Amino acid sequence: MRLAFFRQNNLSKKLYRELKLWREVVLPGLSVVGIIIFVRSVGLLQSQEWLVFDQLLRLRPNETVDQRVVIVGIDEDDINYVGKFPIPDQEIAQMLNILNSYQPRVIGLDLFRDKNDSANAELAPVWRQNANIIGIEVALNRKQSFNVKPPPELPPQRVGFADTIVDPDGKLRRGLIASKTYTGELKYSLPLRLAQFYLDEQGLKFEHGRRSYDPIKFGSSQLVRFLPNSGGYVRTDANGFQMLLNFRSHSQPFRTISLREILNKKVDPNWIRDRVVIVGMTAPSVKDSFIISAVKNTLYTTALGIEESSNQYQWIYGVEFHAHATSQIISHVLDNRPLLKVWLEIWEYLWILAWGLLGIIVGLILQSPAKTLLSLGVISIGLVGICYISLIFGWWIPVVPTLLALTSAGLTTFFFDRDLRTLLEQRSLTLKRSFEAIHNGPLQSLAVILRSLGEEEIETEKLRSQLEQINRELRAIPEYLSQEMLSRNQSVYLEGKEVLDLQTPIAEMLYYVYEITLRRNFQGFTTIQSFIPPNFEPLAECHLNLNQKRELYLFLQEALCNVGKHSQGATRLDVMCTRSSKHYCLQIIDNGIAILTKTYQRSGQGTKQAQDLARQLKGKFRRYPNSPQGTICELTWPIVNHWWQNFFYL
């Protein structure tokens, strides 16, 4: 019962220590994740998220060209061909009549024609005779003088507004498709009107409530409304019914025809029949354009002769924007092409937190800086891949804050964990060094005295002298340990006042350890008659780190001391150092009778040190009988031939 209770109590203490360690390491990582979540919540990461969002949209695989939408772009060559700007109503009326002869389903005229005078007489009959022509207006400005009225001949259901919303960085990412004016009148955008006319022919009726932000449906399909905190946006103005623009991924997503081709009737009627035709300006001089970076190419970059632009700031014409927005609605309703959707805000923050926790786990498990950085890099690539694939299927998942949470929490946890473990290892190392110094010095001398007390009587003065020597050795240990620590572990304490510089060549230091150890007053050394100076030169090219050098010197000292303490009647002591093609070998051989004390039998501290050194060197330690009499203490370890093996080995 007591034993079980003791074990349970010991386990509880160990678990408490581990939890305390984790708390000290995990809390900084969690704090970093919390800071990143806070920074995102106040909108400081919006611009970065928008840039990554745009880049991921650009990297999507190519989609097919949308044949249902055709752009009639009036470019600089068309202006020169006509000879006037604005394009006269006569040419506009002629173009509309030719287009209608090709039987399009609906025509959107992205040109302002708000004057009711004699000049408009040529267009008025075209407005009245063709019920499939949609005009534009600007209607959402508070100041009426900034608004532009639609053609007076068009009824409200054949008018769509051309007002747009630009993000603070100047780029176009959202489309406003329904809104109330400042006078309270509900208005719809040109793309929504075009989609409404086109889909009505398919039997898909348009449904909307009285409020601008009410759900918008075409049959069973419902459009996704933009909210103030959608995706990377934070507390953004989401009045009216806005949609994130899911631009069609293609270098030339729509067929584009010039005004000249139509006026000269050089157009295949099949390009126009049953299509949505949008007429607008594609001339840089007109300034009907917006900045965008979410597409591979635009009509502007195409005109410059660039096949696929990598510029983050591209110009897109207003008519091209309307084509993308119209195509987005029609393709969603008819083809189930995904609209861009986002998670609820709580799920986004849980997503960020989950990846932050993953970073913390990586920082805890991996102790190597290289492994930690490599793992975080691979996981980051996987995270971006997940977000990229999700975007292809229509889901915008936060990337920037998630990446920051993953990497920052992982690195923070790693550094805190490394520092804490370094501190604990330093404390453990200090205790180990202290015990080594006591064991290899005073305790060795004390063992000799205790053995002598059992074998013969020692004079009081002699005993006092020996005990005083032990006392001096014990008092000297803190000083030399302090020197050892101050030297950044580049020295080792042996015995008396001996401190070895670990930067000294191995062969030289091993011989010095051999010499000073044999000077010690051990009974086993007094009977030795043959001393053959050892040759440590075979180890001259052995590459060991400072800690391994330290352990090797202590191994030699301990093996020699064991001969002095535990060998009786030894007349010969040989230290053999050899090098074969694959291994180094260090042997300490004596021919005395081993006195098997209890400490020696159960493998004392010296044996544990030798076994630990063998593990570090990936070698073997053995102690076995010498023939015909004596003991062999042997350490062997492999030779490292290649620099990369040596790097890994150390």
Question: Domain of 603: which CATH number?
Answer: 3.30.565.10
Same domain, 338 and 355: no
Same domain, 172 and 279: yes
In a domain, 121, yes or no: yes
Share of the chain above pLDDT 90, in %: 46
Same domain, 67 and 35: no
Same domain, 372 and 401: yes
pLDDT surpassing 50 at residue 24: yes
For residue 106, the cross-strand partners are 276
Same domain, 537 and 584: yes
Same domain, 97 and 239: yes
Same domain, 38 and 103: no
Mean pLDDT, the chain, rounded, equals: 83
pLDDT of 7-16, one tens digit each? 455 556 555 6
Confidence of residue 597 (pLDDT cuts 50, 70, 90): very low
Pick the range with the lowest mean pLDDT from 148-157, 275-284, 533-542, 564-573.
Answer: 564-573
Same domain, 42 and 170: no
Q: What pLDDT is recorded for position 640?
A: 75
Domain holding 393, by residue range, is 17-52+349-410
In a domain, 77, yes or no: yes
In angstroms, the CA 381 to CA 119 distance is 61
pLDDT surpassing 80 at residue 565: no
Confidence of residue 389 (pLDDT cuts 50, 70, 90): very high
Task: Calculate mean pLDDT across residues 364-374.
Answer: 80
CB 564 within 8 A of CB 520: yes
Q: What pLDDT is recorded for position 650?
A: 42
Same domain, 327 and 358: no
From 288, 318, 342, the end of a domain falls on 342
Q: What pLDDT is recorded for position 372?
A: 81
Q: How many domains in the chain?
A: 3
Share of the chain above pLDDT 70, in %: 78
From 342, 364, 383, the end of a domain falls on 342
pLDDT surpassing 70 at residue 211: yes
Confidence of residue 279 (pLDDT cuts 50, 70, 90): very high
pLDDT of 454-487, one tens digit each? 556 666 776 676 676 666 666 666 665 665 555 5
Same domain, 216 and 358: no
Pick the range with the lowest mean pLDDT from 76-90, 129-143, 436-450.
Answer: 436-450
Q: What pLDDT is recorded for position 370?
A: 81
pLDDT surpassing 80 at residue 596: no
In a domain, 497, yes or no: no
In a domain, 133, yes or no: yes
In a domain, 475, yes or no: no
Same domain, 526 and 395: no
pLDDT of 309-356, one tens digit each? 666 778 999 999 999 999 999 999 999 999 999 999 999 999 999 999
In a domain, 490, yes or no: no
In a domain, 637, yes or no: yes
DSSP 231-294: TT--S----SEEEE-----SSS-SEEEEHHHHHTT-S-HHHHTT-EEEEEE--GGG--EEEE-S
In a domain, 554, yes or no: yes
DSSP state of 538: G
pTM: 0.70
DSSP 21-78: HHHHHHHHHHHHHHHHHHHHHTTTTHHHHHHHHHHHHHTSPPPPP-TTEEEEEE-HHH
Same domain, 29 and 141: no
From 388, 410, 432, the end of a domain falls on 410
Q: What pLDDT is recorded for position 379?
A: 94
Q: Which residue has the higher pLDDT, 302 or 227?
A: 227
Confidence of residue 198 (pLDDT cuts 50, 70, 90): very high
Q: What pLDDT is recorded for position 443?
A: 64
Q: What pLDDT is recorded for position 159?
A: 95
In angstroms, the CA 544 to CA 546 distance is 7
CB 251 within 8 A of CB 61: no
